[in-house]
Amino acid sequence: MDYNAILELLRQKGYRLTQARKQVIRILTTNTQFLGAYDIHNLLEKENIHIGVTSIYRVLDLLKKLDLVRSEEFGAGGERFRLQGNEEQHEHSHQLICSQCGRQEEWVGECPITDLAEKLEHTSGYQIEEHWLRFFGLCPQCQEL
Amino acid sequence: MDYNAILELLRQKGYRLTQARKQVIRILTTNTQFLGAYDIHNLLEKENIHIGVTSIYRVLDLLKKLDLVRSEEFGAGGERFRLQGNEEQHEHSHQLICSQCGRQEEWVGECPITDLAEKLEHTSGYQIEEHWLRFFGLCPQCQEL
DNA sequence: CTCCTTATTGATACAATGTTTCAATAAGGA
DNA sequence: TCCTTATTGAAACATTGTATCAATAAGGAG
């Protein structure tokens, strides 16, 4: 789903196409990494575009409600957001995160967890919505330091 | 490792047995849940014991350095700490977290990830230190609301 | 038991992330 | 072009976390 498709979807649902929404969506469509609200704020400030932090959070909440972005939290720095479908590849993916420099990599492959989640639903009574699988370690560069 | 054993270990290593250390360790030994620094602070305040937040962080850092506590982050609320060995059972465990009420449960069983981690070390070049496996969903109680 | 050294504490100030409130603004249909 | 109202953003505040530094107390020496 690209920039214009998202705007069209918002329009169809009766949401106004405001500067705040257009700018945040633009940033999200051009980034495959997870970004925090303040990351987005800073990127926009660099372009001399001033959107209040409050509004950025509101746009992100809206996009999340519409299931257009997914959010996660790893380590410090709060919630981070990424457009659905902006995974490096579009299979179910997980993260490999460097504990030194914070570099994130997608790790794609068939997921050994999906089956497990189903079993767990039965044994635990939980209605499982999602799962995280994260590996932390030193990336090749940081091992050399 | 219980309260006295930890104090003895600190003493042996030349650390002073201060109020701050003793109180934080006491709270940790009597809780199997992951606790944030401010959780610990609040629990102590309730008992009318006043330990500065700064000191609580310092004790937690020390215990982490000595590998006596493990820390994780899930959802909002920052880093949370738990005594090593305070898992509900002492096998390798993962969490089941209610996305509504925040209830955490240990989920214990043979871990399907350990093998995967080893393979991943070879293919990615990362020196993997740990992994997280978290399931999020509605717990039985919250499903009824 | 008392004194002394210094490891440790905690108040304060500050930084980053996030939420609430409400008057001002601008989107877009009439 | 005007009007309605959805949307914005400034400000005040809450939470989590860190840096600084003078005051304190732990515990060994005498």
pLDDT tens digits, residue range A40-57? Answer: 999 999 999 999 999 999
Strand D contact residues in chain A (88-127), C-beta within 7 Å: none
Tokens, residue A100: 């030194």
Tokens, residue B45: 């305040």
Residues contacting residue A96 through CB under 8 Å, at least 6 positions apart: A104, A105, A106, A107, A134, A135, A137, B120, B124, B126
Task: Delineate the domains of chain A, giving CATH numbers in brackets.
Answer: 3-83 (1.10.10.10), 93-144 (3.30.1490.190)
Q: Report how far residue A91's alpha carbon sits from residue A111's, in angstroms, rounded to the nearest whole number.
A: 9
Q: Report how far residue A138's alpha carbon sits from residue B4's, in angstroms, rounded to the nearest whole number.
A: 35
Q: Report how far residue A107's alpha carbon sits from residue A93's, in angstroms, rounded to the nearest whole number.
A: 6
Determine contact, residues A118/B111, Cβ cutoff 8 Å.
no
Chain B interface includes A61 (CB < 8 A): no
Q: Greater confidence, A29 or B138? A: A29
Strand D contact residues in chain B (47-66), C-beta within 7 Å: 53-54, 57
Answer yes or no: do A96 and B127 touch at CB < 8 A.
no
Q: Greater confidence, A22 or A93? A: A22
Give the pLDDT mean for B61-70. 94
Q: Which of B30, B25, B38 is nearest to B80 (CA)?
A: B38
Give the pLDDT mean for B53-71. 95
pLDDT class for B98, splitting at 50, 70, 90? Answer: low
Sheet holding B35-36, edge to edge: B35-36, B80-83, B69-72
Q: Report how far residue A120's alpha carbon sits from residue A114's, in angstroms, rounded to the nearest whole number.
A: 10
pLDDT of the residue at A27:
97
pLDDT of the residue at B109:
60
In this complex, the answer to whether residue B13 has its CB under 7 A from any atom of chain D, a nucleic strand, is no
Strand C: list protein residues with Cβ under 7 Å. A 11, 16-19, 36-38, 53-54, 57, 73, 77-79; B 15-16, 18-21, 50-52, 54-55, 58-59, 76
Which residues in chain A are closer than 8 Å to B137, comparing Cβ atoms?
121, 126-130
Q: Tell me how far the alpha carbon of residue B134 is from its chain's centroid.
A: 14
Provide the CA B56 to C1' C29 distance, Å, integer: 58
Average pLDDT, chain B: 83
Beta-strand ranges (E) seen in chain A are 35-36, 69-72, 80-83, 93-98, 104-108, 127-138
Which residues in chain B are closer than 8 Å to A133, comparing Cβ atoms?
113, 131-133
Q: Report how far residue A126's alpha carbon sits from residue A99's, in angstroms, rounded to the nearest whole number.
A: 31
Residue A144 has pLDDT above 70, yes or no: no
